[in-house]
Structure 1
Amino acid sequence: MAGDPAPDEVIERALVRIRRDQQARHLQRRAVQGDPAAASAVNAARFRYLDALDGAPNGLPISEVADAIGVDRPRASRLTTELVGDGLVERDTMPGDSRYALIRLTQQGKKLVDGIHETRRRNVAEALTEFTTQEAQTFAALLERFVDAWPRNPA
């Protein structure tokens, strides 16, 4: 229809709205309601750190965590020290080279990450309640395709 915004404009505005909601940490706050220890453990950088470790059951070196969350190694080291102190991650030496540490989620850290992921899934399900099953499946496939196509290399 004439005068309607182009799809790229609509999508860009939707992405901005999602990003603002994430920056406000609404989902993380909902996931830790009633748990003061968990609430103090969750800020954006700490959650990105814990989330990066979630897919690495054998752990990651600090340098890989830093790359995964977009911070420098000194910042990742400080976060590691904080999260070890909070009991959310543990540090172990890398097999074959004791100079390097592997960082893994503790059970407490895994429980926290799982709770936030579950809250996200509940929120997605709530947002999809007005969608038919076919619409939800189509949206999921198209969103995954869109994210896979998103430019990641700096120009």
Structure 2
Amino acid sequence: MTVNDEVRQVERAMVRVRRRQTRRALSSGAVPDRLAGVLDAVEPDHPHGTTVGTLAHRLGVDQPRASKLGAEAVAADLLTRSADQRDGRRSPLILTEEGLAVLRAVRDHRAARFAAAMDDWTADDQRTFARLLTRFVDALDEADRP
């Protein structure tokens, strides 16, 4: 594995992105950031919902923390727990109508911020960046798999 100047530039840029997230610079204010993260981690189109274990994995937290965050989102009427007909021990989390509306608002807000940052880029530059960033994140995900 080669760590060249370009790799170091990417590392520094990713730190800057993380700092922006920590400062809530991309926050829409629609819900607290921790709940926006929970909504992002729940699959809106998954027919069986998202388990707390899956939520924990996607958020990078332990199961008790994911359970607490899920309960907070349920209390805020952003998620609901459903009965799993295949396994009675499970109660997957599903987005409510309110949760789906908030998720859309949060994603629209972030997309608008990203569009503004790339406003003077050519369409080709935007396509190239989207392709390469997606490829990069996919490779990071793949490297994290056991």
- TM bucket by the smaller chain? 0.7 to 0.9
Q: How many angstroms does 1:56 deviate by?
A: 4.4
The alignment's TM-score, normalised by the length of structure 2, stands at 0.84
Q: Quote the residue 2:37 is aligned against.
A: 48
Q: Quote the residue 2:69 is aligned against.
A: 79
Higher strand proportion: 1
Q: How many angstroms does 1:55 deviate by?
A: 4.1
Q: Quote the residue 2:8 is aligned against.
A: 9
Count of aligned pairs between the two proteins: 141
Give deviations 1:59-102, integer Å, cap 9, x for gaps.
11222211221222222222222111111110111013222101
Structure 1: how far apart are the matches of 2:120 and 2:36? 30
Seen in structure 2, the aligned counterparts of structure 1 residues 22 and 106 have a Cα distance that, compared at 3 Å, is same
Query: 5+ unaligned residues in a row in structure 1: which ranges?
Result: 33-37
**Contact 1:61 1:102 (C-alpha < 8 Å) held by counterparts:** yes
Structure 1: how far apart are the matches of 2:39 and 2:23? 18
Structure 2: how far apart are the matches of 1:19 and 1:64? 22
Mapped pair 1:128 → 2:118: yes
SS at match of 1:17: helix
Alignment of 1:88-127 (within 5 A): 88-127=78-117
Percent sequence identity is 33
What RMSD in Å do the two structures reach over aligned CA positions? 2.1
**Contact 1:89 1:103 (C-alpha < 8 Å) held by counterparts:** yes
Seen in structure 2, the aligned counterparts of structure 1 residues 127 and 83 have a Cα distance that, compared at 3 Å, is same
**Contact 1:89 1:106 (C-alpha < 8 Å) held by counterparts:** yes
Structure 2: how far apart are the matches of 1:136 and 1:9? 22
Q: Which structure 1 residue ranges, 4+ long, deviate > 3 Å from structure 2?
A: 54-57
